[in-house]
Each structure stands twice: as structure tokens, then as C-alpha cells.
Amino acid sequence: MARNFLCTSTLLINKINLPVMNIEDHIWKLATRKLCHEATEDELLELSILLNEHPDIGREVKLLFIWWSYDDEQAAVSRSERMFNRIKEKIKRFERLIKNN
């Protein structure tokens, strides 16, 4: 008897959670579109609303956004540093060229 109750409860829980899982999948889909800069204004608004309505998922998604933006910032800094170093090298070469002439 207890086993039937457990199976029945699990089925009920699965049926109850099914729409939540679809919402969670939809939130992740919208979040992915945002991270790839493919989300429309309507999708961004919908994502914002869904993140507020589902704070448990919202925390995870917001952490991903923070991590992703930090990674983008680090890549931008790295590119800037490489460009700056190239400019410095060109200046040094130019100074050596002038000095040798």
C-alpha cells in the first residue's frame, strides 16, 4: 500500500513539476539568447519577468550573467593589453631606428 502511495505521489509530483521544468527550460533558452546577443527586446523583458517570478532559477541565471560578463571583461582587457604591448614594441623599434640613423 505504501509503495502505491509513493508511486502515485511521484507521478503527481512529476505532473506538477512538468510545467515548471518547461518554464525553466524556457528561461535558460532566453538566457542563452541574451548571452549570445540574439534576444529581442520582448524576449529580454520576458526573461526579466520570469527571473523575478522564479527566484530560485533567477539566482543561477544571474550568477551565469555575472560570470559571463566578467569573462568578457577579462577578454577585453587581454585584447587591450596585447594591443598596447604591440604599440609599445612599434615605438621601441621606431626609437631604435631613429637612434641608429
56 vs 18: which has the higher pLDDT:
56
Side chain identity at 44, as an amino acid letter? Answer: L
For residue 39, what are the contacts with CB-CB under 8 A and spacing of at least 6?
A: 30, 33, 47
Q: Give residue-wise pLDDT tens across range 54-89.
A: 998 988 998 888 888 766 666 666 777 878 888 888
* Domain spans, the chain: 2-100
pTM of the model: 0.50
**Ramachandran region, residue 67 (left: φ > 0; alpha: ψ -120 to 50; beta: rest):** alpha
- What's the rounded Cα separation, in Å, for the pair 66 and 60? 10
The dihedral over CA atoms of 70, 74, 79, 85, expressed in degrees to the nearest 10, equals 150
E strand intervals along 39-84: none
Any idea which of 12-26, 30-44, 45-59, 64-78 has the lowest mean pLDDT? 12-26
Predicted confidence band of residue 36 (pLDDT cuts 50, 70, 90): confident
Check residues 12 and 22 and name the one with the higher pLDDT: 22
Question: Measured between alpha carbons, how far is residue 77 from residues 69, 72, 81, 86 in Å?
Answer: 12, 9, 6, 14
* pLDDT at 96 (0 to 100): 87
